[in-house]
A and B are shown apart, each in its own frame.
Chain A
Amino acid sequence: MKFHRTLVRHVVLIIVSFLMVYPVLWMFFASFKPEDQIFANPNLLPAHWTVSHYTESISGKAGINFGPMFLHSLEIALLVVVGSIFSGSITGFAFARMEFTARKFLFGFMLGTMMLPAQIVIIPQYIIFHRLSLVNTFVPLILPSFLGTGSFFIYLMVQFIRGIPKDLDEAASIDGCGPFRLFLHVIFPLTFPAIITISIFAFYWTWNDLFSQAIYLTNPNLFTVPIGLSSFLDNMGNSMWGDLFAMSIISLIPVLVVFVIFQRYLVEGIATQGLK
């Protein structure tokens, strides 16, 4: 009876898991099929494998500069990760460890911004950057992360630093450590798991951010992966699905890599923060 229950559970789970990955799996295999076989051949696996879609996409023969777009996305995402760690950790340190007037007040504001829809700030932000002639640069996409706009990251850091024993602080200040050295040499190194979590989310959200990138980057030479892919889809007619799939799969690889490498930290991070 127990065995029967477990078996049913496994069967259901296998079916559910398969349904979950099927869309991406299908696209993955389709990217290796010759163009005329993609929709005609109902089988999941290609009858004839071809890598032409990949070679065409990377070499630019498919009609868009996928290589440069990939690098643009990478550059922006990595800088946003740096900015998020920087502003998240110093702001988190201040809220978690320092006494100052208006601390509760400002902390409340910071929490409040987590629930703001992006659209209520994006238009004036655009206007500001437009006035500064920074539209069609990467600055509007990177600078905010250095200025603590990722309040989720600040919150993560605050919660994490609160968990670091205060004895370390005291020991350090007895040794004559001021706040800057305390932060740099004691607290910051200990926030490694939180840094990992921040890195994953910052990378992931930036890599996939279509809205902001579409707003600020209208020059095709500056396109990033999300913009490039959707514009290719719009302009390609009906005969380049294979190339499109190849580029889509390539665009999913960084996200997958980050996930696979940091999986342990990721699941812990979401679960504990969600509970608090």
Chain B
Amino acid sequence: MRTTLNVTSSPGKRDNVAYVFLLPWLIGFVTLTLGPVLASFYFSLTNYDLLSAPRFIGVANFTNIFSDPYFWTSLKVTLTYVAISVPLRLIVALLVAALVNKPIRGMSIYRALIYLPSLLGGSVGTAIGWQALFSQNGPIDQALGLVGIRGPIWLGNPNTALLVIILMTVWQFGSEMVVFMAGMKQIPVHLYEASVIDGAGLWTRFTKITLPILTPIIFFNLVMGTINSFMVFTQVYVITDGGPLNATLVYVLYLYEQGFQYFHMGYAAALAVLLFILIAIFTGVFFLTSRWWVKYDLY
């Protein structure tokens, strides 16, 4: 039985038709993806401000980057952000998914409400709301005041500003939660029933049945979540603009400033190359270590 389309018997003719369908993607891939990736490497070795031709300067951009305190700050801020927000978000998503994953009335309403931040969270409008929430004497401070706690100046204090951004990210755990819930639904009920007969409690069932089976999904969310959080930009641009005192200067914000406010295109390209390498390293490490904890085909 033929499994793919066979227009005529000659491979040349088949190819031609396929390539017609592929033409837009091929054009896009070469000119907007592959080309630019290679070009970024090229531009990272130049000095280019868009006004005059690019000037080749070798690795000068990179040596400058490594002695640039703002680079190190942005790296530290971004790594802190990733290291805290990604695991936190996954854990909350897992726990709430386990909580919600029972056939109780109104479940779809709860799920929709918990998913709402994920939906709206990428919007500037929501970031504005978040900023207002944490402003001095804003609702959060007022609520804390009710229980007698004096809130810090969240967005003015370098120690708490990044926390506000992290909280906004964790608040959007709904999208991971939905994926986990779909995964949990596929776990055969008889596994749980058998374990209950053997005397397994709630926590044991969660850690010995649910978690191992979910590891592939956890892995997927971990990788995609990490890649995405390295690129955090909108919330920071809107809420703190990198401040106070660069406490929230995330990497992509610094790259944006260098490339599109100062038009140091070569320098920004070098920053992009380093980001690309950094993400590739993290992704590689995740994939390599996955064999130790990700289990497929458990049942």
Contact = CB atoms under 8 A, between A and B. Distances in A.
A13 B110 contact: yes
B233 to A, nearest CB: 5
B192 interface: no
A252 B1 CA distance: 50
Contacts of A98: 4-5, 14, 17-18, 21
B294 interface: no
Interface string B210-248: 000000010011010001001101100110010000000
B28 interface: yes
Contacts of B34: 109
A62 interface: no
Contact of B138 (A16, A39, A263): A39
B283 A115 contact: yes
Contacts, number: 280
B196 interface: no
A106 B24 CA distance: 14
Interface string B44-65: 0000101000000000000000
A24 B40 contact: no
Contacts of A252: 120, 123, 125-126
Interface in B1-56: 1-7, 11, 14-15, 17-19, 21-22, 24-25, 27-29, 31-37, 39-40, 43, 48, 50
A110 B25 CA distance: 9
Interface stretch (A51-59, A74-82, A191-199, A266-274): A266-274
Nearest to A89: B21
B265 interface: yes
A101 B1 CA distance: 20
Nearest to B270: A123
Interface string A214-244: 1100000000011001100110000001001
B142 interface: yes
Contact of B28 (A147, A214, A274): A147
Given A113-B33, A252-B125, A120 B273 contact: yes
A271 B179 contact: yes
Interface string A247-263: 11101100110010001
Interface of B: 1-7, 11, 14-15, 17-19, 21-22, 24-25, 27-29, 31-37, 39-40, 43, 48, 50, 96, 99-100, 102, 104, 106, 109-110, 112-117, 119-120, 122-126, 128-133, 135, 137-139, 142, 171, 174-175, 178-179, 181-183, 186, 217, 220-221, 223, 227, 230-231, 233-234, 237-238, 241, 252, 255-256, 259-260, 265, 268-269, 271-273, 275-276, 279, 283
Given A23-B117, A117-B227, 18 more contacts: A10-B106, A27-B133, A90-B21, A93-B21, A94-B21, A101-B11, A109-B29, A113-B29, A113-B33, A115-B283, A121-B32, A122-B36, A122-B272, A123-B259, A182-B5, A210-B237, A214-B256, A259-B119
Across the A-B interface, the 10 shortest Cβ-Cβ residue pairs: A147-B28, A271-B182, A148-B25, A248-B125, A27-B129, A124-B36, A124-B39, A100-B18, A94-B21, A121-B36
